Structure 1
Amino acid sequence: MIDRDPDPRPVPPERPLPGDCCDSGCECCVQDTYAEALADYQARLARWLERHRDAA
């Protein structure tokens, strides 16, 4: 039987590699996508840390 954590710590998004951005001004740039994912991660982590004060 696998005992899974019902409230695991959020995992940060992977940072894009230097060659992932083509620098052509794409409407949906990997840098923009990463920034949005990072902001979401930080918000989820802050809420998780409130629930797990002993983890800080």
Structure 2
Amino acid sequence: MTPDDDPRPVEPEPPLPSDCCNSGCPICVHDLYAEQLQHYREQLAAWKQRHPEEPL
């Protein structure tokens, strides 16, 4: 498998300060970002296992 067939995961963009309304939403943009970041880290760890020769 080549990196072209299995591209490295892309880190999610953090929310901008203006993206949060600071009104205590049940699901805040910061919560969503934290979930996306965790998923990215898991996907990246699995990708690194499949591509140990690729630079970090």
Stretches of 4+ aligned residues off by more than 2 angstroms: none
**In angstroms, what is the RMSD of aligned CA positions?**
1.3
Consecutive unaligned residues in structure 1, runs of 5 or more: none
Consecutive unaligned residues in structure 2, runs of 5 or more: none
- TM-score normalized with structure 1 length: 0.88
CA distance in 2, matches of 1:21, 1:34: 11
State the Cα deviation string for residues 1-56 of structure 1 (Å, max 9, x = none). Answer: xxx81100000001000110011110110000000000000000000000000113
- TM-score normalized with structure 2 length: 0.88
The number of equivalent residue pairs is 53
Greater helix percent: which structure?
Answer: 1
Q: Which residue of 1 aligns with 2:25?
A: 26
